[in-house]
C-alpha cells in the first residue's frame, strides 16, 4: 500500500509541474489587449481547464495524504455566506459562458 501511495504522490507531482508554466502563460495571454475577444475567450477556456486539472491533481495528492495519515483536519467556524459567495465566484464564469 505504501508503494502505491508513493507512486501516486510522485505521479501527481510530475503531472502538476508542467501545468504551472501553462497556467502562467495562459493567464498572461488572456490579458493581451492585442488579441481578439474570441481569442481571449479561447485562452480563458484553456486557463480554466488547466486550473481544473491542477485542482484534480491536488485532490489526488490529498487522498494519498489521507491514506498515509499525513493529513490533519482542523475544525473551525466559518462564515457560510462568504464561503458560498466564493464558491459561486469560482463557477460563475463557467456558468456565464454556457448560457
State residue 82's pLDDT score. 93
- pLDDT reported for residue 99: 62
The domain spans of the chain are 2-72
How many Cβ atoms from other residues are within 10 Å of residue 2's Cβ? 8
What pLDDT, on a 0 to 100 scale, did the predictor assign at position 79?
A: 94
Task: Say what the pLDDT of residue 78 is.
Answer: 92
pLDDT value for 25: 92
Q: What CA–CA distances, in Å, run from 11 to 48, 59, 60, 63, 86?
A: 22, 13, 10, 13, 30
Instruction: Give how far Cα 83 sits from Cα of 66, 79, 92, Å.
Output: 23, 6, 14
In this prediction, residue 61 carries a pLDDT of 84
Q: Which residues in the chain land under pLDDT 70?
A: 1, 94, 97-99
Amino acid at each position: 500500500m505504501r508503494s502505491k501511495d508513493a507512486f501516486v504522490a510522485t505521479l501527481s507531482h510530475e503531472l502538476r509541474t508542467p501545468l504551472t508554466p501553462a497556467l502562467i502563460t495562459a493567464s498572461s495571454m488572456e490579458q493581451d489587449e492585442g488579441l481578439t475577444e474570441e481569442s481571449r475567450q479561447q485562452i480563458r477556456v484553456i486557463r480554466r481547464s488547466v486550473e481544473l486539472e491542477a485542482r484534480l491533481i491536488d485532490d489526488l495528492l490529498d487522498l494519498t495524504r489521507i491514506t498515509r495519515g499525513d493529513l490533519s483536519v482542523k475544525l473551525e467556524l466559518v462564515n457560510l455566506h462568504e464561503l458560498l459567495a466564493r464558491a459561486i465566484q469560482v463557477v460563475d464564469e463557467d456558468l456565464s459562458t454556457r448560457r
